[in-house]
Amino acid sequence: MTQTTLRAQLQGQKTDTDLLMLMEDIATACQMIADRVRHGAFAGVLGTANTENIQGETQKELDVISDEIFQQIVGANPTVAALVSEEVDEVNWRKQSPQAGDFVVYYDPLDGSSNLDVNLSVGTIFSIVRLDAATAPDAAAVQIKGTQQIAAGYAIYGPSTGLVITVGQGVDGFTHHPGSGEFLLTQPAMNIPPQTQEFAINTSRYDLWEAPVRKYIDDCLRGASGPRAKKFNMRWCASMVADVHRILIRGGVFLYPKDSGNAAQGGKLRLMYEANPMGMLVEQAGGASSTGRGRIMEVDPTGHHQRVPVILGSRDEVAVIEEYYRD
């Protein structure tokens, strides 16, 4: 049986040529990053780079390498006006006079890189918006609300290299085929079950959580005899890509809420290249995404490294969590 390639699937969804070519460039960059991750131990690049990114997080050597690959491949696309990376402070403008129709690409080149040393799944997250007018190349020009995303996705580097994307027509999962070099459609029309008995959260921050989050988790952990009247499982990978991928496959909710330890920054995860693209993917798959107090993609950006609380996954369970916040 002939399997559908990434290009064929995008063409079948009537994706315009410029966006199709950009998505293929992103896929190529992810394929190259996957190769560097796979051979990282042999090249001696699994350790830290002795540098920090703009968030004050210690960078791994592969964080830096992955960012360079993304800049090299995706930044060379003639329709890209700017790149916004987790690993770089300033907006990387590729055009001096951005025009309507040009793309801005937001990305986290290697999400979950703290997992590299223990050989767990990591990934790349990306979001694409199209400028609707000519603009000056300044930081304010890339502060674009998540509802204006035209495409989003992530690559996951695990037992196989996966690519999960949306261009606003549902969510499709592809797997890289080493023999042909193609990304082949293996998980079409991914759909998140509306109900779940599984949550993902970093419980080491329990004492820092706001009261609604603590009460929600306490009630879940009380099992069938508690107020939720059912047993819950907890999962946590410390890699947003891996946790969200599991939710897209079998349901669940992912929480990285604002707490007393990160409230001054607005939360932990970044709006433009983590929360918005994952929010779009989850919603396109029938799920929901929230800050606890509103839809993630409706947050007005105030900076390209802005942080927000993130709650996303099975639609009915996200609604339950929002009810805890209202109460």
Strands 122-130 and 149-157, by their bridges, are antiparallel
Is 138 labelled a binding residue?
A: no
Indicate the helix (H) or strand (E) that contains 277: helix 276-284
- Which phi and psi angles does 206 have, rounded to 5°? -50, -50
Is 68 labelled a binding residue?
A: no
Is 115 labelled a binding residue?
A: no
- The Cα-based distances of 71 to 21, 67, 106 in angstroms read 16, 6, 11
Strands 253-256 and 310-313, by their bridges, are antiparallel
In eight-state DSSP terms, residue 140 is G
Is 314 labelled a binding residue?
A: no
Gap between the Cα atoms of 62 and 69, Å rounded: 10
Is 163 labelled a binding residue?
A: no
92 in Cβ contact with 82 (< 8 Å): yes
Who contacts 223 (Cβ-Cβ below 8 Å, separation ≥6)? 230, 231, 232
Give buried/exposed letters for 2-20 (b at 16+ CB in 10 A, else e): eebbbbebbeeeebeebbb
Is 86 labelled a binding residue?
A: yes
Is 323 labelled a binding residue?
A: no
Gap between the Cα atoms of 279 and 222, Å rounded: 29
Indicate the helix (H) or strand (E) that contains 162: strand 161-166
Gap between the Cα atoms of 178 and 198, Å rounded: 33
- The Cα-based distances of 211 to 62, 266, 313, 317 in angstroms read 37, 17, 21, 18
Is 283 labelled a binding residue?
A: no
Q: Terminal CA-to-CA distance of the chain, rounded, Å?
A: 53
Is 40 labelled a binding residue?
A: no
Strands 161-166 and 149-157, by their bridges, are antiparallel
Is 110 labelled a binding residue?
A: yes
Q: Which residues are annotated as a binding site?
A: 86, 108, 110-114, 202, 268, 274
Q: Which residues are annotated as a binding site for substrate?
A: 111-114, 202, 268
Q: Which residues are annotated as a binding site for Mg(2+)?
A: 86, 108, 110-111, 274
